[in-house]
Amino acid sequence: MMFRHSKNQSSTSNAFENEFALEVLKSARLRVTILIGVLISAQVILAGLTALSFEQFQRTFHGNFKGFLFTFAVFTGSAVACLIMERAAISYLISKRGRGFRFLHYLSAFIETSLPTARMIVSALSLTVKET
């Protein structure tokens, strides 16, 4: 027995898929906005803590705290720049009511998982005692 798909069912299905894709993009934009806020907040908090107790951090990092601050700023800045570009791309897709690109999702996941890992490695290297 063969069932016919009516034109109405097909258009309803397409409308649902389009609205679902739009909501996924809006959710991704919100997630990226929150991540930007978290990274900027982390940078501000670190700057405040540095101003309050620089010498303690310098002892903890065995004299490498300035290097750690520089690498932290570079990693945070690059992550924020990538997230701002991603947010702009998502906003563009939302305004054009387009669907997201699969490549954008993979690139976003790669950046969001690689940068914290790299930051932890740099932090660990900054905390190690250098032999003189």
Mean pLDDT for back-to-back runs of 10 residues, the chain (132 residues): 57 83 89 93 92 87 82 87 91 82 79 81 72 52
pLDDT at 127: 72
Residue 1 counted as domain residue: no
Q: What is the C-alpha to C-alpha distance for residues 30 and 102, in angstroms, rounded to an integer?
A: 18
Q: Which domain holds residue 50?
A: 7-127
Residue 42, domain member (yes or no): yes
Cα separation of 124 and 7, whole Å? 61
Is the pTM for the entire model greater than 0.85?
Answer: no
| Residue 2 lies inside a defined structural domain of this protein | no
Residue 132 inside a domain? The answer is: no
Instruction: Answer whether residue 97 is part of any domain.
Output: yes
- Structurally, the chain folds into a number of domains equal to 1
Q: Note whether residue 108 is domain-resident.
A: yes
Instruction: Say if residues 76 and 36 touch (Cβ distance below 8 Å).
Output: no
Whether residue 72 lies inside any domain: the answer is yes
